[in-house]
């Protein structure tokens, strides 16, 4: 009785490679027929479509202005109350401002849960999106809120809680606090309204 024929080692190697290629092809990542959102990669700026707020009124909110420096600048808005002024800020730039490359670093999903004024402090209770911002943009988003609040008559500071709980929030220098935030905690975040000094005359 003859022994069974054995497949040469080189042939077995080739067959193994072919089978592995077939398996890998079956498990490969296929292209999607349409674009899809990648979890964790959603933009943090304000609404893509833009709010319907008119750029007019006696009050002002702070957005990230166009330009390479990306400094905060104020734009006019109409708001019947301090709480409504913050809600208007949370709406983000309107369509015209978006076309002019104004943005907001406050997440578009952020909502105002509660607010009240005690003395010169505006207390704001917000949804968690603001607290989840990366540290690279969170101070600028907070500065938007603080500077906007300071536009309301008599308001000099803001106390922010997230769903009723105090949060460690960064000042402009990176130092975290659960206390009140004031405009001077964010120096250099806002474009100065002061005109540039004229050049000194040459002697």
What is the pTM for the complete model shown? 0.71
Q: What are the distances in angstroms from CA 27 to CA 6, 16, 21, 35, 36?
A: 31, 17, 10, 20, 20
Q: Which residue has the higher pLDDT, 37 or 87?
A: 87
In the predicted model, is pLDDT for residue 148 greater than 50? yes
pLDDT tens digits, 75-129: 999 999 999 999 999 999 999 999 999 999 999 999 999 999 999 999 999 999 9
Predicted confidence (pLDDT) at residue 45 exceeds the cutoff of 80: no
- Sequence ranges of the domains in the chain: 59-185
CB 79 within 8 A of CB 59: yes
Mean pLDDT over 40-45 rounds to 42
pLDDT band, residue 55 (cuts 50/70/90): low
Average pLDDT over every residue of 21-47: 43
Report which secondary-structure segment, H or E, holds 86.
helix 82-91
Could you give the CA distance from residue 183 to residue 36 in angstroms, rounded to a whole number? 39
Alpha-carbon distance of 63 to 126, in angstroms, equals 18
Model confidence at 146: pLDDT above 60: yes
pLDDT of 198 higher than 80: no
Buried b (16+ CB within 10 A) or exposed e, 111-150: eeeebeeeeebbebbbbebbbebeeebbbbbbbbbbbbbb
Tell me the pLDDT of the chain averaged across its residues: 79
Residue linked to tokens 């709010």: 51
């Amino acid at each position: 009785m003859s022994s069974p024929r054995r497949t040469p080692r080189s042939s077995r190697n080739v067959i193994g490679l072919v089978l592995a290629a077939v398996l890998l092809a079956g498990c490969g990542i296929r292209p999607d027929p349409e674009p899809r959102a990648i979890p964790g990669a959603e933009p943090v700026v304000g609404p893509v479509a833009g709010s319907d707020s008119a750029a007019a009124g006696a009050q002002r909110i702070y957005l990230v202005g166009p330009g390479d420096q990306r400094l905060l600048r104020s734009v006019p808005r109409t708001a019947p109350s301090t709480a409504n002024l913050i809600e208007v800020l949370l709406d983000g730039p309107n369509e015209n401002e978006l076309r002019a490359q104004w943005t907001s670093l406050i997440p578009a999903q952020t909502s105002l849960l509660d607010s009240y004024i005690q003395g010169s402090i505006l207390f704001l209770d917000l949804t968690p999106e603001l607290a989840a911002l990366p540290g690279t943009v969170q101070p600028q988003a907070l500065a938007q809120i603080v500077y906007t609040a300071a536009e309301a008559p008599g308001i000099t500071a803001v106390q922010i809680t997230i769903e009723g709980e105090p949060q460690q929030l960064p000042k402009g220098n990176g130092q975290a606090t659960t206390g009140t935030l004031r405009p001077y905690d964010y120096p250099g975040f806002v474009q100065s309204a002061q005109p540039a000094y004229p050049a000194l005359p040459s002697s």
